[in-house]
Amino acid sequence: MEYRIGCVVAAGTERRGPIDRARAWISSLAHEHASPARLFAACVVGAIVGSTPFFGFHLPLCIGVAMLLRLNRVAVYGAANVSIPPVAPFLAFACIEVGSFVLHGRGTTLAVESLRHVSPWRLAGDVFLSWIVGAPLVGGAVGVVLGVVVAQAARARDARKAVAADPFEQAVRETVARFAFAKPGHRHYVRFKIRLDPVYRAICAELPDRVELVELGCGLGILPLLCVALGTRRSAVGVDWDEAKVADARRAAEGLPITIERADMRTWEPPPCDALAIIDVLHYFDDDTQAAILSRAASAVRPGGTLFVREGEAGGRGSAWTRAVERLAVAVGWNRSDARPRFRPIAAIVASLEGLGFACEVVPMAGRLHPGNVLVRARRATARATG
């Protein structure tokens, strides 16, 4: 008795109802061999089969060819339906004409006078043969057009799945949503700045789950918002002297462990932190002020922490364009500066940081609107325990 009960329970846990089995089967059909390339091939093959004169046999032909070529059976049969009744006569005529031209160098002759001298069986055979020869050409052309559309839709589907599974993309959506209240200039800037500038993803990827971040010249607070959204034990402090940007950054950061201060970073003392970022800011100051800012920033970074500096390379690729963009940003009032932007050689910035006890790595980090920018990752050595 116990054995029989055990068998029944086991079977009950594995057996599914007919509706569930049907759903699982349909789902497996829809998702088999569903890469963009294979769906493209399925559309081409299906359109060719659908262009042939084997009406009534298209379904088994599609299934057989799809299984043989390892293509999506649903896509193959779906593409074969190019021969639906309203389109079938025109498709058949095109196949016959193209096939006749390939075989005989001319189109079909269906004049009544000429038909009197041709056997009906011979005429039917010629038409059938022309149809068979023309089907791969006409159907293939139709299938290529259909396949391009389907493949693009599949790529968009895969991209949406990748975005949904990417924590950074989720943080981007959350950050953009937090600026729904802002005026269009700030709202659209946040959306496009995150998408076009790789520096945010690069810095966020370097940060551990537990970190205290400081950003000098944070503007609208994009980096602090992304940083906190991607970690469960993160906090951030940002400073900027633009009153309008600070106000919107504070409102966007409501409810989060983020502090946005309005202050002059030339005199502001950063609090102790695990990571500090200075993104596209130093060039707004003269050389002595840049050195002073770096010195104070370096003093705030704890042992084992990282100082990120993103700047344009003086005289590097795209530097003229970057300087022009920065000057325009100052001229229209988007960014504030008391002097013309001054880009120091990256080697000079690295030398300053190395003199402050950091080990530096320089990597290209250019946005689409700022070619030639680089990111300096400066790491402070972990303090050694003294005995």
Query: Residue 131: what pLDDT?
Result: 92
268-to-216, 300, 339 alpha-carbon distances in Å? 9, 11, 19
What is the residue-averaged pLDDT of the chain?
A: 85
Q: Which domains does the chain have, with CATH numbers?
A: 32-165 (no CATH), 167-380 (3.40.50.150)
Give the mean model confidence (pLDDT) for residues 234-242: 95
Question: Does 356 have pLDDT greater than 80?
Answer: yes
Question: Does 52 have pLDDT greater than 80?
Answer: yes
Question: Of residues 169 and 3, which shows the higher confidence score?
Answer: 169
Query: Residue 324: what pLDDT?
Result: 62
Query: Residue 123: what pLDDT?
Result: 63
Give the mean model confidence (pLDDT) for residues 113-139: 76
- Cα end-to-end span (Å), the chain: 72
Query: Residue 312: what pLDDT?
Result: 81
- Only one residue has tokens 């100051």, namely 285
Query: Residue 319: what pLDDT?
Result: 56
Contact indicator for 318, 325 with CB cutoff of 8 Å: no
Weakest mean pLDDT among 25-34, 46-55, 64-73, 269-278: 25-34
Question: Does 23 have pLDDT greater than 90?
Answer: no
Question: Does 22 have pLDDT greater than 80?
Answer: no
Query: Residue 272: what pLDDT?
Result: 96
CB-neighbour burial class of residue 194 (10 A; exposed 0-12, middle 13-18, buried 19+): buried
Query: Residue 177: what pLDDT?
Result: 95
Query: Residue 8: what pLDDT?
Result: 42
pLDDT confidence tier of residue 231, bands split at 50, 70 and 90: confident
Phi, psi of 369 (to 5 degrees): -95, -5
pLDDT confidence tier of residue 30, bands split at 50, 70 and 90: confident
Residues 6+ apart with CB under 8 A from 72: 29, 30, 32, 33, 34, 38, 39, 42, 66
Residues 6+ apart with CB under 8 A from 159: none
Give the mean model confidence (pLDDT) for residues 338-344: 69
Query: Residue 119: what pLDDT?
Result: 57
Contact indicator for 104, 9 with CB cutoff of 8 Å: no
Residue 233 token pair? 């034990």
Question: Does 110 have pLDDT greater than 70?
Answer: no
Give the mean model confidence (pLDDT) for residues 8-30: 65
* Helix, strand, coil shares, percent, the chain, to 5: 60, 15, 30
